[in-house]
Amino acid sequence: MPAPPIFLAFASGDNDVRGKQLVVSNINACQIVADAVRSTLGPRGMDKMIVESNGKATISNDGATIMKLLDVVHPAGKMLVDIAKSQDVEVGDGTTSVVLIASELLKQVKPYVDEGVHPQVIIKSFRKATELAIEKIKELSIKIKKDDKAGLRAVLEKCAATTLSSKLLSSHREFFSKMAVDAVMLLDELLPMDMIGIKKVTGGNMEESILVSGVAFKKAFSYAGFQMQPKHFKNPYIAMLNVELELKAEKENAEVRVENVEEYQKIVDAEWQILYDKLQSIHDSGAKVVLSKLPIGDVATQWFADRDMFCAGRIPLEDLKRVQKACGGSVQTSTQKLAKESLGTCGDFEEKQVGSERFNFFTECPLTKACTLVLRGGAEQFIDEMERSLHDAIMIVRRALKHDSVVGGGGAIEMELSKYLRDFARTIPGKQQLIISSYARALETIPRQLCDNAGFDSTNVLNELRQKHAQGAKWYGINVFTEGIADTYVACIWEPALVKINALTAASEACCQILSVDELIKHSKGANEYEAPDALPGRGRGRPAM
C-alpha cells in the first residue's frame, strides 16, 4: 500500500501564524513524523513498505531510509528528516533513536509551552541537560584496549551484532558481524568507506555471501572471442583506459566522396590501422589485463584473445577507480606511449562464477587495501535491505575503532542518564528543574519503545529498570531475547558511545531550533492569494492541505 505524503498545515486561517500557536503546531508536526518510524526500533521492530510513484517498493526498518522516502513537506517535520540523515552519515546507526528522542523532548515540554513558559527558558535548560548527559556518557563509557587484538576484535563483533540484531540479518548476525569486522580490518588506517564495495547477486543462501580481500565486480558485456581469453593471471600488469577500442559506423550526415574503389579501400584500411595501432601500443606496454570505461569491440576482443590477454569494456567508473586505488597506475585517455609506470598490478587476477553471474576478482593488491562484499539472497528487495543493514554494521565498527569507547545498549545508557538528570534537577530551583526533569523523562522513550515493539508490559519493565538503576546497577537495560531486563554489558549488548553522543546532540539542536521559531510569514501573491513558502516544493497555491 503506497505511503501517503505527510502533508501538514501550518495553521488554520489565512493570517500569519505566530507565538505559542506556531510552536504547538510545529511540535504536533514532529509527533506525526516520529510516529511513522516509532514501531521500527529494536530487535523486535516492524518493517515498513514504502511504494514510490513509479511502483518501486522498498522494505526497510532503517530510520534514515524511511525518512528519506517519506514526502515530508512541513519545515519542522523536515528537520527530523535532516537529523536522521546526519546521524546516518556521521555514525551510521541510531537513526530511529534520534528521531524518537527529538519528538519525545518536544512532547514533554508541550504543556509548558501551553502554559506560557518562554521558549528561551526551555532552550537554555535543554542545552544544559544535553551538556550534562554527554559528560556523563563520557564518564560511564568503557575504553576499548587496542593493544589486545583478540579482545578488540571481540568488542567490535559485539557492537556489530548489536546493530544487526534490529535488522533483517538478526538471525545470522554472528556470521555477518564477523564479515563486517573483517571488512573494516582489511582497510588501511584511514578506513575509507569508498574502498569497501558491495555487490549483489540474487539467488542462494544468505550465508553464501563472501568477503573478497581485494576488488571484485561483475563481468562486463563481452563480444565474440571472449571465451578464448585466459581467465587467470599471476602478477599481471593492468591497463586502465578511458578509450573506445571499437570500429564506429559513420554518422548519418557524414559524406565522403571518392573517385574509385581503391580510394574507398584506403579509407577503410586507415580506420582499421588506427585501431590496430592502439591495440599494439597496449600490447607493447606489457599489460595482460585491459579495463576500459568505454566499449571494447569484437575486433579488439579477438585480437587480445590471440595474444593471451584479458579485456573488459564498459566498466563502471566507481569500480575502475577502486581498481586504480588498490592496484596503482592511472586511467589513461590515450594509448600512445603507454608506459609501465601508468599500469597497475595485483598478485592474482581471476574470473569466477558466483551464482548465475561471472565476477572478476583482483586480489593481493599492493597499494591501498580494499575489499568487496558479494551478497547472496532471494528477492531483490531482500538483498537491498541486507546491503543497508551491513552498511550500518560497517559504519558502527569504523566508529568504534576510531573512537574506542562503548556503552551498554538496550536502553541501559538512557535509563542511567535519566536517573542522573532527575537527581541533578532536584538540586536546582525554578523552571529549569521542571524542564530538566522533562528531559530525563523523554530519554525513557527508548526503553519504553523497545518494550512496546517486543510486546512487553512497558510500565512494569521500566519500573524494574528504575529500581535497578537507583540501586547502582548502571548497565541494566532491555533484553528482548530473554523477555526481561538484564545487565547489557554482561550480555554483550554494546554500542559505541559516539552513537549516543551524536543522537543527543542532534536531537537537542533540532528541538532548540523548532522552539526558537515564533512566526510563520507567508508570501502574498495578490489580494487574496497565498503560496506556501519555499520549504514546500511542489505545492500548489493556497493553504497546504492536511
- Told to judge if 95 belongs to the known catalytic residues of this protein, a careful annotator would answer yes
Please give the C-alpha separations between residue 245 and each of 153, 284, 297, 477, 545, in angstroms, as whole numbers. 47, 16, 6, 62, 57
> Which of 28, 9, 2 shows the shortest CA–CA distance to 536?
9
φ, ψ of residue 350 to 5 degrees: the values are -155, 145
Choose the CATH number for 17-143+408-520 among 2.40.50.140, 3.40.50.300, 1.10.560.10, 1.10.3470.10.
1.10.560.10
* CA 67/CA 84 separation, integer angstroms: 7
- 298's enclosing H/E stretch is helix 298-306
Rg (the chain; Cα; Å) = 29
- Region 480-494 average pLDDT: 85
> Which of 204, 495, 234, 500 shows the shortest CA–CA distance to 353?
204
Residue of 65, 96, 162, 445 marked active site: 96
- Told to judge if 372 belongs to the known catalytic residues of this protein, a careful annotator would answer no
What type of residue is 247?
L
Task: Decide if pLDDT at 17 tops 70.
Answer: no
**Grid coordinates belonging to 119:** 521558549
Strand blocks (E) in 388-482: 405-408, 476-479
Q: Is 57 helix (H, G, I), strand (E, B) or coil?
A: strand
Residue of 392, 404, 452, 488 marked active site: 392
CATH topology of domain 215-367: GroEL (3.50.7)
The share of the chain scoring above pLDDT 70, in percent, equals: 91
* CA 494/CA 157 separation, integer angstroms: 10
> Which of 381, 377, 387, 389 shows the shortest CA–CA distance to 205?
377
**Grid coordinates belonging to 78:** 523536515
* CA 487/CA 462 separation, integer angstroms: 14
> Which of 496, 478, 495 shows the shortest CA–CA distance to 487?
478
Q: If pLDDT is split at 50, 70 and 90, which confidence band does 103 have?
A: very high
Specify the CATH number of the domain 149-213+379-403.
3.30.260.10
Tell me the per-residue pLDDT of 408-448, one tens digit each, with 9 for 90 and over.
Answer: 888 999 999 999 999 999 999 889 999 999 999 999 999 99
3-state helix, strand, coil in the chain (%, to 5): 50, 15, 35
- Region 292-314 average pLDDT: 89
Task: Decide if pLDDT at 204 tops 50.
Answer: yes
- Region 324-349 average pLDDT: 87
Neighbours of 258 (CB within 10 A): 11
Residue of 58, 62, 88, 163 marked active site: 62
Domain ranges of the chain: 17-143+408-520, 149-213+379-403, 215-367
> Which of 20, 7, 14 shows the shortest CA–CA distance to 517?
20
pLDDT confidence of residue 11: 40
pLDDT confidence of residue 416: 94
What type of residue is 20?
K
Residue of 40, 58, 65, 95 marked active site: 95
Task: Decide if pLDDT at 531 tops 60.
Answer: no
Same fold, 17-143+408-520 and 215-367: no
* CA 399/CA 155 separation, integer angstroms: 12
End-to-end CA distance of the chain: 19
Task: Decide if pLDDT at 24 tops 80.
Answer: yes
* CA 277/CA 409 separation, integer angstroms: 64
